[in-house]
Structure 1
Amino acid sequence: MPLGSLRPSPLVEQATQHLREQITQGEWPVGTRLPGENALAKTLGVGRSTVREALRALAGAGLVQARQGSGVFVIATAIAEDWPARLRRAAITDVYEVRMMVETQAARMAAQRRTEEDVAALEEALAARARAASQDDAAFVDADIALHAAVVAAAGNPVLTDLFAEFAPALREALIGLVEVLGLRAHDRNPGHDTHAELVAAVRDGDGEAAGAILQAELEQTLAHLHDS
């Protein structure tokens, strides 16, 4: 497929699209060195800066890689699915299993590393969860997730914090549905309060084994509900 000249605007988007099509349709197989910026600019009828931005976009999509002194090479012919998209497509039970592994270890670390500010944030999150008991299921789930996020944050590892934030949207949707389907708040508007209070106390007291065990038991119970629902 010939590249052809592009319309004036939006040039970067058009250049990126044309080059992406060349790669994904097999015109440039993996390992191929792309033509230089000058050649691509001439073929596409755009400036070198436009080509440079398009190549950066393709690199961000995982299709090409610049090698110092050698040029830009094709490293894949299919765009890698990003992590949020993968989570949206994954079975919630699979997501929850990973959540259990990540969050249980985070609770142990939180007990070892928590600061006074972390403890204050945990206690406030626990109180906010209790206040949300008088609200609808969505608000209660949001408060519950916020408490768990505070535990992860207390672990003091920004990668863990970011990872939990990626899980949160998928968890929220599944948990709201679970609460509604099983009627988990029909007789107790604040289910799991005592367990969560024990979790906060374990982190506050520096008892990592207790914090991990409490969280493991709670998440295993929820996972069992997810498997049965």
Structure 2
Amino acid sequence: MPLGPLRPSPLVEQATERLREQITGGDWAVGTKLPGETSLATSLGVGRSTVREALRALAGAGLVRPRQGSGVFVIATSVEESWPTQLRRAAVTDVYEVRMLVEVEAAQLAARRRTEEDLLALDAALAERRAAAGRSDAEFVDADIALHAAVVAAAHNPVLTSLFTEFVPLLRQGLCDLVELLDLRAGEPNHGDDGHAALVAAVSQGDPEAAGRTLREELERTLAQLHSPGA
């Protein structure tokens, strides 16, 4: 595919996209040295500064790498998706399986590390989840997630907290869809209260095994519902 001049508009973005197409389309294989800035600028009909910014963006995407005194070389022909992008593309069941790994470990750590402030936050989150039983499905799901977030926060591990935060948007949508599709709260507005109360109690009592076991059982039940034919 020939390069050809670009239309006016955000030129850096256009130049980046055109060069990306050349690389991902196989016109420039891995190991190929790209034409110089002047040549690329002429082909694209833009200034050298625009080409320089486009090459910087491609380097940030992991497609090219400059070599001092030698030029810019192709090092990959496909863009590796970022973690947030992978999550957005993932099935909610796949994300839920990873969530189990993160949250069960977090619950066990929370039982060992929780502070008085954490215990107050857990009690408040459980009370709010119970209060949300009389509200809409979306509000109930939000209160449920807030309780789980409080457990993760009590683990005092910023990496676990960040991972859980990344999961939340997809989890929220999946849980809202599940509650509505299976009408889980029709006969039980405060669906899952016993399990959540037991989780808070285990963390409060400093029992890591009970906290991990209780949360795993609760999440496994939800995952089974997500896998069910009606979900």
Tell me the TM-score range normalised by the shorter chain. Answer: 0.7 to 0.9
Q: List runs of 5+ in structure 2 lacking aligned partners.
A: none
Relative to structure 2, which stretch is displaced further, 3-12 or 99-108?
3-12
2:218 counterpart of 1:218: yes
Distance 1:144 1:58, change over 3 A: same
- Partner residue in 2 for 1:167: 167
Q: List runs of 5+ in structure 1 lacking aligned partners.
A: none
- Partner residue in 2 for 1:120: 120
Distance 1:21 1:204, change over 3 A: same
Amino acid of the structure 1 residue aligned with 2:189: R
User: In percent, how many aligned pairs have the same letter?
Assistant: 71
Deviation for aligned residue 1:68: 5.6
Relative to structure 2, which stretch is displaced further, 15-24 or 172-181?
172-181
Distance 1:8 1:216, change over 3 A: same
Q: Partners in 2 of 1:176 and 1:125 — Cα distance?
A: 19
Q: Partners in 1 of 2:117 and 2:52 — Cα distance?
A: 46
Amino acid of the structure 1 residue aligned with 2:137: D
Q: Secondary structure at the match of 1:53?
A: helix
Deviation for aligned residue 1:67: 4.9
- Partner residue in 2 for 1:151: 151
TM-score, normalised via structure 2 length: 0.86
2:75 counterpart of 1:64: no
Deviation for aligned residue 1:72: 3.2
Q: Partners in 1 of 2:203 and 2:166 — Cα distance?
A: 23
Q: Secondary structure at the match of 1:29?
A: coil
Q: Partners in 2 of 1:69 and 1:167 — Cα distance?
A: 44
Deviation for aligned residue 1:141: 0.7
Amino acid of the structure 2 residue aligned with 1:181: L
Task: Provide, for residues 152-184 of structure 1, a one-character-per-residue CA deviation record: whole Å limited to 9, x for no partner.
Answer: 222222222222122222222221222223222
Amino acid of the structure 2 residue aligned with 1:117: E
Q: Partners in 1 of 2:99 and 2:215 — Cα distance?
A: 11
Q: Secondary structure at the match of 1:46?
A: coil
> In the TM superposition, what are the counterparts of 1:4-23 in structure 2 within 5 Å?
4-23=4-23
TM-score, normalised via structure 1 length: 0.87
Q: Partners in 2 of 1:205 and 1:71 — Cα distance?
A: 62
